[in-house]
Structure formats: structure tokens, C-alpha cells
Amino acid sequence: MALDNLRDLYQQVILERYKKPRNRGKADPIDRYQKGHNPSCGDTIELTVKLSELGDRIDDVKFEGEGCAIAMASADLMADALRGKTTDEALEMVQRFQSMMRGEAEFPQDLRKLNVMQGVAQFPVRIKCANLSWHTLKAALESSQAQPVAAVSNE
């Protein structure tokens, strides 16, 4: 895709997701609960995850929080992409997203919606905003807590 088209699409998707998020709220029931904070911008996020009966698959992800359009849009797109994925796949997606923010990777066809966030890589100061929800997800999946614990910071 031409860079100009990608940039337009990026701005359009971010604004749309920011104004009309599809995944705001709390998962029910809550199997994992993690707060995240990005001090450099002031973004905060509360991520709740519903797992499958065996605990190895993500049934639902919801988020709440306050922050800039990039942080909120990234969380909303992430929640869409995670539904139905195994926890192992989700952790791989965290790594891939972080690599994408360094310009080193992108997502395959079935997850191509996430590639729109590549636009953020052009604005280094905003990369932490885009990474916040993924960073928080990783902490959520690596803990065994269903209660909110201390917020993770991505500083």
C-alpha cells in the first residue's frame, strides 16, 4: 500500500476507534485483570480478560481507561484481534506488535487490521501509547490474578 494511503487509513481508523470503541467495558466473568500506565503521555488502561474453561484461550477482552487517541484505538483493535486466540498466540502477537513498532515486522493476512498501527512507528514519541495495551496484556496473561494488582508501567 502506498505510504500516503496507509497514513490516511491510519488516521481514519484511529479516530473512528477512539470515538466509537467496540470493546470498552469489563469482561464477564473476569479471569485476568491488569492496569497499565504510560507516564510519558498519561495514558491509563484497565484490561479485563475472560478465558476459556481450560484457561488456554481468550474468550473476551475488554478495556477501560483514559488516554490519547492512539492508546485507546490500539487497545480497541487489540481486543478485536485477540478474541478466540490461545494465550500462547496472544503472547506471540505482543512480540510481533512490539517488533512492528520498530519497523521490523507486520501481521499476516488474518490479522492485517493491526497493520494500520504501523503508522505510529513514524512518530517515536507515540510508540509507547500504541504499545501500552499490549504491554498490559502481557502482564495480565503472565499473572494468575483475577483481581486488579499494581499497575504496570511501560517506562
Which residues bind to Zn ion, rule: CB under 5 A? 41, 43, 68, 71, 129
The minimum distance between CB 109 and Zn ion, in angstroms, equals 29
In terms of CB distance, is 30 or 129 closer to Zn ion? 129
- Work out the widest C-alpha separation in the chain, in whole angstroms: 45
125 vs 41, 51, 57, 67, 130, CA distance in Å?
9, 33, 33, 14, 10
In terms of CB distance, is 23 or 44 closer to Zn ion? 44
The minimum distance between CB 10 and Zn ion, in angstroms, equals 15
CA 60, 65, 70, 71: dihedral to nearest 10 degrees?
Answer: -70
In terms of CB distance, is 129 or 141 closer to Zn ion? 129
The minimum distance between CB 42 and Zn ion, in angstroms, equals 7
